[in-house]
Structures are given as structure tokens and as C-alpha cells.
């Protein structure tokens, strides 16, 4: 598979050094919520670059405007914010808040099997992600994700009674030594695992009842990717802390930790330097985030994501009905996962098929995100219906070439 050298991006289209063009249904690294080089984001960045780059965590006029914008877009209880640069950095900050404010004896943190929270040590320890011969289990306890297509408990819905959720309650939320549950409302890196109705509601109720903090990792889903500003909103979950990054500044490095004031302003969690790092909250990131969110709010792009998401669901479901090697299609809004298998009966993962479809689609002019036997689609919110149809058409052509 030849490597492309991309030279330019405009909206949903990438151009390589040879002048070939590609619809980017991976939106960078699932980051370009407004597409590549959105003129208002470019203008905001350019103007800011002429004025001021970095004053550490000092106040600036744009910073205040961004915080007011976040307050309008986020649920009411998330009224306090700390600014960072990357997803892993903001997850680590959330962990520090949990550890600083936890009651004595609450020394365990819950997380989900198959979750992904970044590549730094603390984020890896959450999900017991070992590297080499080093084991990083840390102090976290893992619960079962609601991966219905490959149920880890070998049950089926609806007769399962959401056993996965009841086990999360038993092993994590109902334990007196658990301080928090860190979770992705929709598992991203694992392949866009969308839980069934009732799963998160049941777990969230148990957390609230037992004093376990809900820490929603919305680095991927936050900012409107699933059709609501937070994916948590679609599952009846009111998190205590939320991490956001990726699409928040349309691909420019920027991250936000949003939370309840009693947590982020707690004396133990807000000592000098607690939320500061070299590039956190830099004026360039603030400018990109403010411009991005202003466009999302003004142009009602969350509504567009929902409408386009329904169309994308219909188009992709038609592909699943046509190709037996496409075992499962799942998603919300403009975030979808396609799971390829050797056959429908065994459901054996088929990474060679996924890779071949990915490479063929790229040859045809469509870029998606490849991960093992799963392709992820996350086109920009600014896409229109004809381009959505064109992209799915190219994907269908790629599957025809590989699978027929």
C-alpha cells in the first residue's frame, strides 16, 4: 500500500503532492470538525499569531470569551474549566482531580475494558495497557463494556438483561473503595462501540447513589461529533468531569477539562500549578477553539450532524445488507465503525479485508481511518448530502473490488 504525501486540505478534501484529491472521511485524526483549513479558524489563528502566542496561564480577552461560549454549550453542572493542549494531558489532569479530592479509603478508580484514554502512563494504567514486559495495572478496576456484537459474557440481547452493566455496578460502583469511573460514552479506538439503551443510565444511577464520580472521556465524541455537544447527553448521563479535545479546535492542539466547581476549585485540587503546563491554554489554541465553536453554534451544525448521521446510518446499513464480510455497522451522528469478518457465522475478525478496503478506497479517492479489522468514519460536520453520498459510493466501490 503506497504512502500518500498530503500537501493541502480544504474543507472535506485533501490533495496530495501529485494533485490527486481525496474525500477525507477520517477528518484528519477524527479531529477536523469543520474540515481542513476552515476560513474562520484560519483567520482567527492568523490574527492571533500576529498578536500573542504564549503567556502561560495568564488571562486574555479571548480566553474569557471562550469560557463563556463553553458555558452555553455544555450542561449546566459543568461550569468550571481548565485548559490544556492534548487529550492525554487533559485525562491526566482529570485523574489528578479525582485523586486529590477522593475521600480516605476511596483509592480505586473504575475504567472499561477496551477503553482508550491516551498513551501517557496514567492513561495507560487506567485500562491495564502493558508495553513490552512492563505491567501497568495501577489502581484501576475494569468493567465490561457493552460490546453487543462480541459480548464478553457470551450473552445476547435482550435476554442478557444488561448483565454487563450489573457487573460494573457489582465490581466498581458499589465498592466503598472506588472514587471514580472513567469512561468513554462511545468507545472510540475499540471500534465505535455504542452501548444499548439502559446501559449507561443504570451505571450512572449507581455511581450517583454511591458517591462515585463520573469522569466522561469525550476527547473524541465531545464538541458535537455524535449530534449532541456531549455524547453523554444521549445516554442520560450527567458527568462530574468531562475531558474534551480533538474536534474542539478543529484539529489544532487544544483540550478542556470541564467539571463541577466544587471539584475543580476544591483546595486540594486547585493548588498553584495544578492546571498549568507549558502550552496549556495558549492563545493560539484558544483562538482556534473559539472560532470552531462559534461556527458550530452559529451554523447549527449539531442539527446538521444529526441529519447527516441518519443518512449515513441508512447508507452504511445498506452496505451491511449487501456484503457478508461487513459483520457490523454502528455509530452515532457522524461517527461510525465498520467491522469486517471472515464470515457472519464465526464473526472472526478480518484485518486483511479491512486493510484491503481501506487501501482500495484511498486509491479511489476516499480516506477513512483503519484500525485492525475495523474502519472508522468521521467526516467533517460541514459536509453536504451530495458529498456524503459520494463518499459512501466510493466506499461501496472499494468493497465491490475487494469482496466480489
Q: Are residues 96 and 242 part of one domain?
A: yes
Which pLDDT score is estimated for 2?
A: 56
Residues 276 and 307 in one domain: no
Same domain as 337, residue 225:
no
One digit per residue, the tens of pLDDT, for the chain of length 404 reads 457 899 999 999 999 999 999 999 999 999 999 999 999 999 999 999 999 999 888 888 899 999 999 999 999 999 999 999 999 999 999 999 999 999 999 999 999 999 999 999 899 999 988 888 777 667 899 999 999 999 999 999 999 999 999 999 999 999 999 999 999 999 999 999 999 999 999 999 999 999 999 999 999 999 999 999 999 999 999 999 999 999 999 999 999 999 999 999 999 998 888 888 899 889 999 999 999 999 999 999 999 999 999 999 999 999 999 999 999 999 999 999 999 999 999 999 999 999 999 999 999 999 999 999 999 999 999 999 999 999 999 999 999 999 98
Closest CA to 253 of 78, 58, 79, 28: 28
Mark whether 228 and 127 lie in a shared domain: yes
Q: Residues 140, 177: one domain?
A: yes
Q: Classify 274 as helix, strand or coil.
A: coil
- Spatial separation of the C-alpha atoms in residues 259 and 188, rounded to whole Å: 22
Q: Report d(CA 199, CA 184) in Å as an integer.
A: 13
Q: Note whether residue 1 is domain-resident.
A: no
Same domain for 86 and 176, yes or no, is yes
Same domain for 188 and 128, yes or no, is: yes
Residue where a domain stops, chosen among 266, 298, 330: 298
Domain that holds residue 225: 41-298
Look at residues 243, 265, 298 and tell me which one is the last residue of a structural domain: 298
Return the pLDDT at 390.
98
Beta strands 178-183 and 108-112, pairing class = parallel
Query: Do 293 and 304 lie in a common domain?
Result: no
22 and 87, same structural domain? Answer: no
CA distance 282 to 84: 8
- What pTM was estimated for this model as a whole? 0.96
Res 1: pLDDT:
47
DSSP string, 231-285: GGGGGT---SEEEE-GGGGTTSS-EEEEE-HHHHT-TTT-STTTT--TTTT-HHH
**One domain for residues 143 and 283:** yes
Q: 86 lies in a domain?
A: yes
Given 259, 279, 298, which residue is the final one in a domain? Answer: 298
CATH number at residue 95: 3.40.640.10
We report the CATH number of the domain holding residue 363 as: 3.90.1150.10
Residues in the chain: 404
317 and 260 within one domain: no
Instruction: Count the domains in the chain.
Output: 2
Same-domain pairing of 372 and 395:
yes
Amino acid at each position: 500500500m503506497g504512502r500518500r504525501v498530503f500537501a493541502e486540505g480544504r474543507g472535506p478534501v485533501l490533495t496530495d503532492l501529485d494533485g490527486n484529491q481525496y474525500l477525507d472521511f477520517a477528518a484528519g485524526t477524527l479531529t477536523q470538525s469543520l474540515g481542513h483549513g476552515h476560513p474562520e479558524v484560519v483567520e482567527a489563528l492568523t490574527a492571533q499569531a500576529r498578536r500573542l502566542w504564549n503567556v502561560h496561564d495568564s488571562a486574555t480577552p479571548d480566553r474569557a470569551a471562550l469560557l463563556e461560549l463553553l458555558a452555553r454549550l455544555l450542561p449546566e453542572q459543568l461550569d468550571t474549566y481548565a485548559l490544556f493542549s492534548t487529550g492525554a494531558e487533559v485525562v491526566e489532569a482529570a485523574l489528578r482531580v479525582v485523586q486529590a479530592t477522593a475521600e480516605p479509603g476511596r483509592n480505586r478508580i473504575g475504567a472499561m475494558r477496551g477503553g482508550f484514554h491516551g498513551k501517557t502512563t496514567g492513561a495507560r494504567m487506567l485500562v491495564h495497557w502493558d508495553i513490552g514486559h512492563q505491567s501497568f495495572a495501577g489502581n484501576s478496576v475494569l468493567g465490561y463494556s457493552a460490546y453487543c456484537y462480541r459480548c464478553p459474557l457470551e450473552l445476547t440481547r435482550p435476554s442478557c438483561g444488561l448483565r454487563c452493566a450489573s457487573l460494573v455496578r457489582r465490581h466498581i460502583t458499589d465498592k466503598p473503595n472506588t472514587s471514580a469511573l472513567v469512561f468513554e460514552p462511545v468507545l472510540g479506538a475499540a471500534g465505535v462501540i455504542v452501548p444499548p439503551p439502559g446501559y449507561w443510565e443504570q451505571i450512572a444511577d449507581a455511581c450517583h447513589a454511591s458517591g462515585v464520580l463520573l469522569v466522561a472521556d469525550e476527547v473524541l465524541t465531545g464538541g458535537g461529533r455524535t449530534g449532541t455537544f456531549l455524547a453523554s447527553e444521549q445516554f442520560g448521563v450527567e458527568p462530574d468531569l468531562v475531558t474534551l479535545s480533538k474536534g474542539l479546535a478543529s484539529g489544532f492542539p487544544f483540550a478542556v477539562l470541564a467539571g463541577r466547581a466544587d471539584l475543580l476549585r476544591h483546595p486540594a485540587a486547585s493548588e498553584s500549578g495544578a492546571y498549568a503546563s507549558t502550552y496549556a491554554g495558549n492563545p493560539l489554541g484558544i483562538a482556534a477553539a473559539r472560532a470552531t465553536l462559534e461556527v458550530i453554534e452559529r451554523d447549527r451544525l449539531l442539527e446538521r450532524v444529526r441529519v447527516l448521521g441518519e443518512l449515513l446510518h441508512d447508507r452504511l446499513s445498506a452496505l451491511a445488507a449487501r456484503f457478508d464480510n461487513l459483520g457490523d455497522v454502528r455509530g452515532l451522528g457522524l461517527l461510525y465503525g465498520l467491522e469486517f469478518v471472515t464470515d457472519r457465522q464465526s464473526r472472526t475478525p478480518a484485518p486483511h479485508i479491512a486493510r484491503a478496503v481501506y487501501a482500495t478506497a484511498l486509491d479511489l479517492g476516499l480516506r477513512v481511518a483503519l484500525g485492525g479489522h475495523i474502519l472508522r468514519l468521521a467526516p467533517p460536520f460541514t459536509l453536504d448530502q451530495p458529498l456524503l453520498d459520494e463518499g459512501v459510493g466510493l466506499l461501496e466501490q472499494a468493497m465491490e473490488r475487494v469482496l466480489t
